[in-house]
């Protein structure tokens, strides 16, 4: 029965082709009526055959004489119920202007909504979903890249502790991979900053090198221009974490942050997704700025980077005029945090993490899971925390004294 019906449906579709611009729904309606009234298929069989809902089949088999092209919406076909043709034209015109402007680096729904609000203050602003639909229907939208999510939560990444318990404002920063300008043999270096939580912000600076001195100078500039964070999350680069061989040593960058009452948090080594916010912003930097145009001089590069930062601030909706001073308390305790993934020790079979070149053994039950190591510089102890379901518990505490040979000190 089904095989015969498949052949008849195919023949029907071939003999009565759908005209250009006609929606697939009309064709499904015709096929539904044909299979029900002419072929004698049951409603359940039709739903399975055409991969539609049972309600759809019931709706279009109530009358043999109902036209599959009937429109019962209550407003003219081809015109939105709330948003007229003029609104659609405005959206498309704003998109074209943003695409042409050398100072505009974002032309999606959010950027268009901002421009619409500024350009037509007396008009009702269409929601992002409507703008996205208009762009999609006009062939102006890009298909977003599908991302696989869930691994961090499954492996108990300490998201809640870092972004909710340690401080209100968490700033992420990272060096962007080396770039090269035509006619120059020396690489160019950039540093990206990002606030993941609202008010969101992304900002980029061109820097001379990937050193601790450059990193601290760039941070000073960022803090002065925008705001001081409560927590700063960075990668395990030599410029931030310090010596690759010294044990339990404070780095210059750690001391720089702690003296400003900012808690340093070091991301998981070789796990870019643990810096998802800043890595995502670095990707935006590459797609929207670096790879989208050709630079001929450093002067041109710096000028357009300033435009890009201005455009990024506007796109994120960050208001530089509403800068708030941090509320500093007297009970600040200098601490340094390290997010680590527990590894399997091939000789002992235990779980282990590495913190400042010290191997810390942990129960094997935590292998492959993420933990947060807290170095309390007053107690000079290391507490290892495990978070699950926004609840955390301390699974280990050891003495962790500051190396007396450490070059940098808080005092």
User: pLDDT tens, 143-181?
Assistant: 655 555 556 777 899 999 999 999 889 999 999 988 998
Those residues whose C-beta lies under 8 Å from the C-beta of residue 36, and which sit 6 or more positions away, are 43, 46, 57, 61
Helix (H, G, I), strand (E, B) or coil at 32: helix
The answer on 90 and 53 residing in a single domain is: no
Domain identity same for 130 and 160? no
Whether residue 46 is found in the same domain as residue 89? no
Which pLDDT belongs to residue 52? 87
Backbone φ, ψ for residue 254 (5° rounding): -60, -50
User: What is the C-alpha separation between 41 and 31, in angstroms, rounded?
Assistant: 11
Confidence of residue 9 (pLDDT cuts 50, 70, 90): very low
Backbone angles phi, psi at 30, to 5 degrees: -65, -45
Measure the CA–CA gap between 239 and 212, rounded to whole angstroms.
4
Does residue 74 lie in a domain region?
no
Same domain, 101 and 40: no
Which of 300-320 are b and which e, b meaning 16 or more Cβ less than 10 Å from the residue's Cβ?
Answer: ebeebbebbbebbbbbbebee
> So what's the pLDDT on residue 207?
95
Residue ranges with strand state E in 165-300: 170-179, 188-195, 201-207, 231-234, 263-266
Cα–Cα distance for residue pair 205/175, rounded to 1 Å: 10
262 is a domain residue: yes
Place 64 in a pLDDT band, splitting at 50, 70 and 90: confident
Indicate which CATH number applies to the domain containing 211: 3.30.420.10
Could you tell me which residue, 148 or 58, shows the higher pLDDT? 58
Indicate the pTM of the whole model.
Answer: 0.72
H-only helix segments in 285-378: 298-316
* pLDDT > 70? residue 278: no
Average the pLDDT over 212-216 and give the result: 96
**For 286-302, what is each residue's pLDDT tens digit?**
888 998 888 989 999 99
In a domain, 149, yes or no: no
> Of the candidates 41, 59, 77, which is a domain's last residue?
59
Domain annotation covers residue 78: no
Sole residue written with tokens 């001391």: 255
Long-range contacts for 77-84 (Cβ within 8 Å, ≥24 apart)? 80/130, 82/130, 83/126, 83/130, 83/134
**Domain extent for 370:** 155-320+330-411
What is the number of domains present in the chain?
A: 3
pLDDT for residue 211 is more than 80: yes
Please state which of the ranges 36-45, 265-274, 391-400 shows the lowest mean pLDDT.
265-274
DSSP 16: S
Those residues with Cβ within 8 angstroms of residue 408's Cβ, 6 or more apart along the chain or in another chain: 242, 249, 250, 251, 252, 254, 255
pLDDT, residue 3, reads: 47
Closest C-alpha to 197, from 220, 169, 222, 224: 169
- Tell me what percent of the residues of the chain surpass a pLDDT of 90: 44
User: Do 123 and 228 have their domain in common?
Assistant: no
* One domain for residues 96 and 54: no
State what percent of residues in the chain have pLDDT above 70.
86
Asked whether residue 114 is domain-assigned, the answer is yes
Highest mean pLDDT among 56-60, 78-82, 253-257: 253-257
Burial class of residue 338 in the structure, from the number of CB atoms within 10 Å of its CB (0-12 exposed, 13-18 middle, 19+ buried): buried
Higher per-residue confidence, 200 vs 328: 200
pLDDT at residue 361 tops 50: yes
Give domain status of residue 325, yes or no. Answer: no
* pLDDT over threshold 70, residue 337: yes
Select from 18, 42, 59 the last residue of a domain: 59
Looking at the domain assignment, is residue 396 inside a domain? yes
166 and 43 both lie in a single domain? no
d(CA 170, CA 163): 6
By the 8 A CB rule, do 342 and 368 touch? yes
Tokens standing for 158? 């300490």
Using only C-alpha atoms, what is the Rg of the chain?
Answer: 29
Look at residue 208 in the predicted model and tell me its pLDDT.
Answer: 93
Residue 82 has pLDDT above 70, yes or no: no
Q: Do 251 and 167 fall within a single domain?
A: yes
User: pLDDT higher for 374 or 326?
Assistant: 374
* Cα–Cα distance for residue pair 14/365, rounded to 1 Å: 61
Displacement of CA 175 from its chain's centroid (Å): 17
Same domain, 22 and 159: no
Edge-to-edge strands, sheet with 343-344: 343-344, 351-355, 358-362
Residue 281 has pLDDT above 50, yes or no: yes
Mean residue pLDDT across the chain = 85
pLDDT digits (tens, 9 = 90+) for 226-265: 999 999 999 999 999 998 888 999 999 999 999 999 999 9
| Range among 151-155, 194-198, 310-314, 359-363 with highest mean pLDDT value | 359-363
Query: Given CA atoms 62, 66, 69, 75 in this order, what sign does their dihedral have?
Result: negative
Looking at the structure, tell me whether residues 160 and 252 fall in a common domain: yes
pLDDT tens per residue, range 83-133: 788 888 898 898 888 888 888 888 888 888 888 888 898 888 888 888 888
Q: What is the pLDDT of residue 21?
A: 39
């Amino acid at each position: 029965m089904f095989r015969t019906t498949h052949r008849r449906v195919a023949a029907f579709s071939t003999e009565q082709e759908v005209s250009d611009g006609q929606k697939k729904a009309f064709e499904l309606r015709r096929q539904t009526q044909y299979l029900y009234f002419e072929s004698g298929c049951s409603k359940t069989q039709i739903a399975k055959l055409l991969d539609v809902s049972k309600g759809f089949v019931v709706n279009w088999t109530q009358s043999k004489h109902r036209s599959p092209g009937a429109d019962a919406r209550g407003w003219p076909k081809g015109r939105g119920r709330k948003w007229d043709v003029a609104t659609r034209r405005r959206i498309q015109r704003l998109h074209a202007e943003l695409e042409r402007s050398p100072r505009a680096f974002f032309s999606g729904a959010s950027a268009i909504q901002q421009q619409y609000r500024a350009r037509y203050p007396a008009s009702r602003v269409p929601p992002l979903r409507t703008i996205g639909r208009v762009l999609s229907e006009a062939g102006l939208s890009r298909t977003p890249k599908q991302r696989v999510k869930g691994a961090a939560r499954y492996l108990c990444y300490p998201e809640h502790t870092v972004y909710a318990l340690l401080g209100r404002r968490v700033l992420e920063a990272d060096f962007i991979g080396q770039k090269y300008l035509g006619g120059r043999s020396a690489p160019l270096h950039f540093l990206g900053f990002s606030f993941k939580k609202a008010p969101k912000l992304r900002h980029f600076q061109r820097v001379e090198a990937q050193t601790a001195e450059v990193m601290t100078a760039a941070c000073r500039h960022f803090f002065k221009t925008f705001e001081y964070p409560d927590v700063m999350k960075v990668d395990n680069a030599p410029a931030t974490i310090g010596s690759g061989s010294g044990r339990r040593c404070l780095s210059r960058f750690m001391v720089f942050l702690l003296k400003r009452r900012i808690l340093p948090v070091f991301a998981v080594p070789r796990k870019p997704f643990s810096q998802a916010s800043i890595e995502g912003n670095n990707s935006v930097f590459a797609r929207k700025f670096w790879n989208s145009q050709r630079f001929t001089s450093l002067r041109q590069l710096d000028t357009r980077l300033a435009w890009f930062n201005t455009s990024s601030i506007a796109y994120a909706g960050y208001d530089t005029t509403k800068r708030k001073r941090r509320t500093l308390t007297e009970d600040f305790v200098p601490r340094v945090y390290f997010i680590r993934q527990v590894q399997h020790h091939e000789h002992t079979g235990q779980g282990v993490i590495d913190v400042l070149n010290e191997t810390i053994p942990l129960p094997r039950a935590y292998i492959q899971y993420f933990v947060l190591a807290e170095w309390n510089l007053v107690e000079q102890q290391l507490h290892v925390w495990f978070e699950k379901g926004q609840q955390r518990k301390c699974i280990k505490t050891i003495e962790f004294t500051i190396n007396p040979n450490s070059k940098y000190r808080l005092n």
